[in-house]
Amino acid sequence: ICISIYLPTTPLTQKIGEARLKFRHLISEAAEQARTGGHNKRDVGLAEIGLLDLADDDNFWRVQANSLAVFATPAGLTTFRLANKLEASVEVADRFHLLPLMRAVTFPHEAFVLALSENGVRLVQVFSDMPAKKVKVPGLPKDAASHAGKSTINDKSAYTRIHGEEGQRVRHLSYLRAIDAALRPILAGRDTPLIVAAVDPLAHLYPHVNTYHRMANEQIRISPDSIKDHELARLSIPVLDSVYAEDLFKAAQIFELSSSSGRTATDLTDVARAATYGAVDTLFADMNDNRPGLIDDKGHVSFAKEDTAGNYRLVDEVARRVIVNGGKVFAVRDGEVPGGRSVGAILRYPA
């Protein structure tokens, strides 16, 4: 028996009571589903005890994000605090309901924020389920002036080799190149978006020296000197939304290009069969499609009239098979799937 519970929560501890009460109701609903579905009473009882223990754990509920995912079996449970805002749901089956969790993987709401000014620079890591924190970066310049070996970089004296606006720009670029070089070992091998928080001229100049492949086009246009890390994390959210919207748009463009060569599928039965045989490279799946049923070992779909403990959500199972076979899944909302159906697949070869 596998019990999957999702519910909206809040980072505000003083307002978490409503979510805890809702969680208890979902536990009762899960236990009822399991019993009416014919599952072993002892297994149901063990899973229910674990969930109720979690509901009573004050320390656990003190730190929450925007949603909570809980996966329970008779042997134990696993929890995930999520930045995404998900709807409350419960499912009992022989496997976990993972598509909403895949949404958090598709759009993880994690980033690095480069807080940049002439007076100093720091790298802040933003998490989906924990407070933001400053990252120690060896070799990061203290500020622009000390990097240039001067008391100020705004000296417009004509008695220097490079002076005026030209000299200031040269010193700015040198400062920014040193920052980029210091960041390379930290960011190497990552795919986490980098968001610049700065004002001109540094905000304008930094993209010219940046070598990291996932720097966001949109910036936080504010002087970060007096901005706390948690505030930078809050300001990063709309920028991350634009980053993920761009990622999804690019993937949808590839879908459209692939359609002309017969390398796409949008019918659930066709996609299920392709996913079973490892033919799906990229899947777009509507995370709110709750149609129940079963998919056999050959990818044949049997639709069910109602959701019971003896079946599962079909789109969820298709997504699982894509991942098992090395494909990528975009868990999206209604209206975001290319082709206008509940699923859209880019195939590895023409159908």
Chain CA centroid to CA 82, Å = 8
The strand pairing partners of 115, in sequence order, are 122, 197
What is the structure's pLDDT at 163? 56
> According to the model, what pLDDT value does residue 118 have?
93
Average pLDDT for runs of 10 along the chain of length 351: 93 88 96 87 94 95 90 94 87 87 81 95 89 93 82 56 69 94 96 96 96 96 94 93 91 93 95 96 92 94 86 92 92 88 94 74
Evaluate whether 39 touches 309 at the Cβ level (below 8 Å): yes
Please state the φ and ψ torsions of residue 195, each to the nearest 5 degrees. -115, 130
Q: Which two tokens stand for residue 102?
A: 């895949």
Length of the chain counted residue by residue: 351
> 243-266 burial string, b = 16+ CB within 10 Å, else e?
bbeeebeebbeebeebbeeebbbb
Rounded Cα distance between 49 and 96, Å, is 18
pLDDT for 159: 43
Give the pLDDT confidence score for residue 168 in this predicted structure.
81
Collapse the DSSP code of 19 into the 3-class scheme (helix H, G, I; strand E, B; otherwise coil) and give the result: helix
Contact 331, 69 (CB under 8 A): no
* pLDDT of 310: 79
Per-residue confidence (pLDDT) for residue 296, from 0 to 100: 95
Structure tokens at 3: 């019990």
- List the 301-303 sheet strands across, edge first: 301-303, 292-295, 312-313
Which helix (H) or strand (E) is 29 found in, with range?
A: helix 17-36
**pLDDT, position 151:** 56
Contact between 103 and 331 (Cβ < 8 Å):
yes
Q: Which residues contact 196 (CB under 8 A, 6 or more apart)?
A: 113, 114, 116, 203, 206, 207, 215, 216, 219, 220
CB atoms within 10 A of CB 308: 15
Per-residue pLDDT at 152 = 65
Give the pLDDT of residue 38: 81
Beta bridge partners of 34: none
Q: Is the entire prediction scored with pTM above 0.85?
A: no
What is the predicted pLDDT for the residue at 162?
Answer: 54
Q: Would you list the DSSP string of 247-270?
A: HHHHHHHHHHHHHTTT-EE-SHHH
In the DSSP assignment, the letter for residue 136 is: P
- CB contact set of 166 (below 8 Å; sequence gap of 6+): none
pLDDT at residue 333 in the model: 85
Per-residue pLDDT at 190: 94
* String of DSSP letters for 38-80: T--HHHHHHHHHHHHHHHT-HHHHHS--SEEEEEEETTEEEEE
User: What is the rounded CA–CA span in Å between residue 284 and residue 330?
Assistant: 5
Q: How far is 231 from 224, CA to CA, in rounded Å?
A: 10
Res 155: pLDDT: 60
- CB-based contacts of 80, cutoff 8 Å, min separation 6: 68, 69, 70, 101, 104, 129
- SS3 label, residue 81: strand
Type and span of the H or E element at 134: strand 133-135
At residue 154, the pLDDT reads: 63
